Amino acid sequence: MKNILGANDEVAALNRQMFAERGVIVMNLLGSPGSGKTTLLEKTLARLADKIKIAVIEGDLFTAKDAERIERAGVDVIQINTAGGCHLDAPMIQKACAALNLAELDLLIVENVGNLVCPAEFDIGENFKATVLSITEGDDKPLKYPLIFKESAAVVLNKIDLLEFTNFDLKSAREDLTTLNPPIKIFETSCTRGTGLDDWTAWLLSKVAK
């Protein structure tokens, strides 16, 4: 495992240098299957695509379902099928970027494979990670999967409209997240209802402006 991560980190460093030279900010978007990553992306693109130039890399085990949804939002999208692999790694991103004109982009968003474990372990050369955690997954997830929340600059608590139907304790989830990662930004959204997205997109724009 150490050797695999070492080889990955070498390519991640090359990716990071390439992104810096081309002036593009890269977000690695993480979260469980069904947490709402693709829906968050659709809503984000609808709000930002006329303000900044965005492209998306979609990681998926076998299908192009998410990439087709992103394509309908009118931005360039590159599909990576991992053939069952449970995360994206730096060489996959390096290869996918050959098909993109990075210099013309402001923001490149990578939707990683749905998984709370190893996508957090593989640096792809991104500027920052963000994790989508839906209310229906349970408030225990930050403490059960601490690495992904320690590594993330932001967490999007999605499906907040379902809060009253669950036993999700918002206060304790927020406390756990802040204990694990004091500077973490926490957003509360319902991507299907379109609520809470203004703060999220304003934060994302501020990351690109830097």
Which residues make up the interface to Mg ion (CB under 5 A)? 37-38, 66
Q: Compute the distance between CA of residue 79 and CA of residue 99 in angstroms, rounded to an integer.
A: 11
Q: Which of 87, 129, 141, 159 binds Zn ion (CB under 5 A)?
A: 87
The partner in contact with residue 139, picked from Mg ion, Zn ion, none with C-beta cut-offs of 5 to 8 angstroms by kind, is none
Site string for Zn ion, 88-127 (x = CB under 5 A): ------------------------------x---------
Pairing of strands 76-81, 25-31: unpaired
Q: Residues 168, 139: contact at Cβ < 8 Å?
A: yes
Q: How far is CA 53 from the centre of its chain?
A: 17
Q: How far is CA 111 from the centre of its chain?
A: 5
The one of Mg ion, Zn ion, none whose footprint includes residue 147, by CB under 5 to 8 A per kind, is none
Asked if 86 interacts with Zn ion (CB under 5 A), we say yes
Taking CB within 5 to 8 Å according to partner kind, which of Zn ion, Mg ion, none is near residue 43? none
Cβ atoms < 10 Å from Cβ of 206: 9
Residue 87 or 141 having the CB closest to Zn ion: 87
- Give the pair of three-digit tokens for residue 32: 């469980």
Q: State the CB neighbour count (10 A cutoff) for residue 8.
A: 20
The closest of 54, 117, 109 to 85, measured between CA atoms, is 117
Residue indicated by tokens 């994302």? 204
Least distance to Zn ion from the beta carbon of 119, Å?
Answer: 7
Closer to Zn ion by Cβ: residue 113 or 155: 113
Q: Does position 147 bind Zn ion by CB under 5 A?
A: no
Residue 141 binding Zn ion, by CB under 5 A? no
Question: In the complex, what is the shortest distance from the CB of residue 39 to Mg ion, in angstroms, rounded to a whole number?
Answer: 8
By beta-carbon proximity to Mg ion, the closer residue of 66 and 137 is 66
What is the nearest approach in angstroms of Zn ion to the Cβ of residue 30? Answer: 12
Question: What SS3 state is found at 36?
Answer: coil
Q: Given the structure tokens 């593989």, which residue do they identify?
A: 122
Q: Decide which of Mg ion, Zn ion, none touches 66; Cβ closer than 5 to 8 Å per partner kind.
A: Mg ion
Q: Considering Cα of 119, then 120, then 126, then 127, what sign does the dihedral take?
A: positive
Near Zn ion in 33-62, by CB under 5 A: none
Name the residue whose CB lies closest to Mg ion.
38
